[in-house]
Structure 1
Amino acid sequence: MSEKELNEEKSTVKTAENTAEAEEVEVVEEVFAEEPPKEEEKSEQLLQTEIEELKKQNAELQTKLDEAENRILRVQADFENARRRARLDLEASEKYKAQSLISDLLPAIDNFERALAMEADNEQAKSLLQGVEMVYRSLLDALKNAGAEQIEAVGKEFDPHIHQAIMQVEDENFGSNVVVEEFQKGYILKDRVIRPAMVKVNQ
């Protein structure tokens, strides 16, 4: 082989080697150029997954928070209702504290009224009745001071809230549905009826 041919062959081999090296560099460059997008895509997927998980946890926490707020509002409402009932009970207890005592005194007052309805035929009986009337008036004053009063009946229009009709009559001297006669006095404590008046009503 001549020196020229030898030089040409070396040149061909060197060119082939350069071409191979260039191809290897190009392959390596392509590999390194493709890897980062894969890692970035993977990171974005992980980030998206984490975001979805956080959204789910946030929704669950919001639901629990709403439930807790609703429970707190219900407890507050129950507490306010209980406090209002307790206040009303206390006010009613204070307002009507004398009711039990007054109810116990009514039979005695009825007996005083029956005694005062009797006719006195001598001075001794009249003196006794005067003493009875004084005690009776003292009891009525005590009831009034406690907030209790007698219910007006005769000549008043019948009111089923404060009157109890036990008889009906036809009397031209009274209008229709008017109380004609009272058999037993009724009493009211402030705005509460302790005992309705037992009455006779005109038709």
Structure 2
Amino acid sequence: MDSSQKVDAEMAEEYVAEADEIEISEDGSEATFEQKIKHWRDKFKQCDSEKRQAMEDLQRGRAEFLNAKRMQDEQAKRERDRAVERVMEDLLPLADSFDMALTGKGWDAADANWKKGIEGIRAQLQALLTSHGVETIEATNVPFDPNQHEAVMQEVREGVAPDTVLSVLQKGYKRKDFIIRPAKVTVSN
């Protein structure tokens, strides 16, 4: 016998006990059939009301549980995303060092095999960043956007609209809508 059948059996026993009690009416005479019917209708209404309340409570509890679970899942996803972004942010100085090495004055004089190795490592690092959704912020010859760019220099240049990014001093990176690091740029004045 499962728990719901057990509860039903207990309730039936309770009602039988109550039925025995109502054989005598309030004035001491035997209860009429109509009084018994009224009594059981009232009991039925009460049980029906209690059942409805229990179902509403159950549905409300289930909805609250599902909402809490959804919110917890969303929070966990945000925390995972932020953890990835922090790790990616920690890797950016390494990417900057590779970029400087690949464009530095001594690069042309370096051994060809050494160059190939450094370029391969830089490509692996770029592949790692890309695999985690990290993108370089496009910055040259675009309107200055304070959400994506950090102006570190201004320069007057004829034929160029004001607030146009002229050059990138340090690459900026983003992941989805999150700016990991803004691009440091020179802007037209």
TM band (smaller chain): 0.5 to 0.7
1:143 matched to 2:129? The reply is yes
TM-score (normalizing by structure 2): 0.60
Deviation for aligned residue 1:199:
0.8
Deviation for aligned residue 1:193:
0.9
Contact residue 101 and residue 107 of structure 2 kept, 8 A: no
List alignment gaps of at least 5 residues for structure 2: 1-57
1:157 matched to 2:143? The reply is yes
List alignment gaps of at least 5 residues for structure 1: 1-71
Deviation for aligned residue 1:150:
0.8
Query: Which residue does the alignment assign to 1:184?
Result: 170
Aligned residue type for 1:100: R
After superposition, give the CA deviation of every residue in 1:115-137 in whole Å (9 maximum; x if it has no partner).
11113476644442332122112
1:130 matched to 2:107? The reply is no
Query: Which residue does the alignment assign to 2:188?
Result: 202
TM-score (normalizing by structure 1): 0.56
For 1:39-50, list aligned pairs within 5 A: none
Contact residue 160 and residue 188 of structure 2 kept, 8 A: yes
Q: CA RMSD in A?
A: 4.1
Contact residue 153 and residue 182 of structure 1 kept, 8 A: yes
Contact residue 115 and residue 129 of structure 1 kept, 8 A: no
- Looking at CA atoms only, which structure, 1 or 2, has the larger radius of gyration? 1
Identity %: 33
* Equivalences, count: 161
For 1:1-203, list aligned pairs within 5 A: 82-120=68-106, 124-203=110-189
Change (3 A) 1:83 1:131: same
Contact residue 152 and residue 186 of structure 2 kept, 8 A: yes
Distance 2:97 2:178 in 1: 23
SS of 2:139's equivalent? coil
Distance 2:159 2:104 in 1: 27
After superposition, give the CA deviation of every residue in 1:44-101 in whole Å (9 maximum; x if it has no partner).
xxxxxxxxxxxxxxxxxxxxxxxxxxxx999888766644431221222344442222
Of Structure 1 and Structure 2, the greater helix share is in 1
Distance 1:195 1:158 in 2: 15
Distance 1:94 1:121 in 2: 38
Query: Which residue does the alignment assign to 2:17?
Result: none
